[in-house]
Structure 1
Amino acid sequence: MSNLVRFGICMNKDLLKNFDAFLRKKGFKNRSQAIAQCLRDCLSQQWEETSSKETTGTIILVYNHEKRELVDNLIDLQHEFVGSVVSTLHVHLDSHNCLEVIVVRGKAKDLKILANKLISVKGVKQGYFRVVTP
């Protein structure tokens, strides 16, 4: 027996038009598949805000490496959470800007604290924290 459940959704025509363009662009075969993926993403991010369960995620940072003390501050914070940092990837975007991807594992609420500290370091231009749930 299938676990699938049918339900209806009402939405604005323009929103549906944009959603259909999104699913075509992303290669989804149908709306159901795209909606399920969007819901999983939304729920996993909401879950990470409050959970004390073990999880894995990524912290993505973009910054100008020439900003005084920025790199040292980022490294110091990662060392404060050394048990949570699994791996880092550093990419030179151009002669000034770098992309850093930090893979983290631990209690979701602790990872969120680390992410917030890293993202709020003066000189970080963009920062994102994403939880990966199985």
Structure 2
Amino acid sequence: MEQELMRIGISLPDDLLKKFDSIIKQRGYSSRSEGIRDAIRNYITYFEWMYAVKGRRIAAITLIYDCMKCGLSSSLTEIQHEYSFLIRTSTLAHLEPGNCFEVIVLDGEGQDVRLMTEKLMSLKGVKYVKLNTALPPQNNNQVFR
């Protein structure tokens, strides 16, 4: 059964659209619409996976952001302070001017990990966020808080 197609309009920076068009061509999509549908399906799958993260988790949040964006560093720090009970360590690398790469290692309840990740994702100037989680080891000889 064919679903009705809805037409939408989006605005993108020129460099992002050029990269997207290049990927569309490499992957052999017949149109931008096909690529956008695929990207949206992947986004939904990732969103659903994040909401299924429950119980205690060991996690890493990977970020790339514009460290020159006014107020962004302060906002990132505020969120990290709000969730300091989860954070075990973090590391920051300065890439080319304006871009920072940060990895935050967490240990805590999946819902808290997800909430922190979503707050980071929503900040303007954050270019990339990826959450990875694992169940903590069950070996009682290993100590995790």
TM-score by structure 1 length?
A: 0.62
Moved more, 49-58 or 78-87: 49-58
Looking at structure 2, the residues matched to 70 and 109 of structure 1 have their Cα atoms a distance apart, in angstroms, of 24
**2:90 aligned residue (70, 88, 97):** 88
Looking at structure 1, the residues matched to 53 and 93 of structure 2 have their Cα atoms a distance apart, in angstroms, of 31
Looking at structure 2, the residues matched to 100 and 64 of structure 1 have their Cα atoms a distance apart, in angstroms, of 11
**1:123 aligned residue (122, 125, 134):** 125
How far is 1:95 from its partner? 1.6
Q: Structure 2 regions of 5+ residues with no counterpart? A: 1-44, 138-145
Residue aligning to 1:38: none
Runs of 4+ in 1 over 3 A off after TM superposition: none
SS at match of 1:87: strand
Residue aligning to 2:111: 109
Aligned length: 90
Looking at structure 1, the residues matched to 53 and 127 of structure 2 have their Cα atoms a distance apart, in angstroms, of 27
| Aligned-partner residue type, residue 91 of structure 1 | A
Looking at structure 2, the residues matched to 126 and 94 of structure 1 have their Cα atoms a distance apart, in angstroms, of 15
How far is 1:101 from its partner? 0.4
Q: Higher relative CO (CA 8 A, sep ≥ 6), structure 1 or 2? A: 1
**2:102 aligned residue (96, 100, 103):** 100
CA RMSD of aligned residues (A): 1.9
Residue aligning to 1:8: none
Q: How does 1:1-134 map to 2 (within 5 A)?
A: 46=49, 49-133=51-135, 134=137
Change (3 A) 1:123 1:116: same
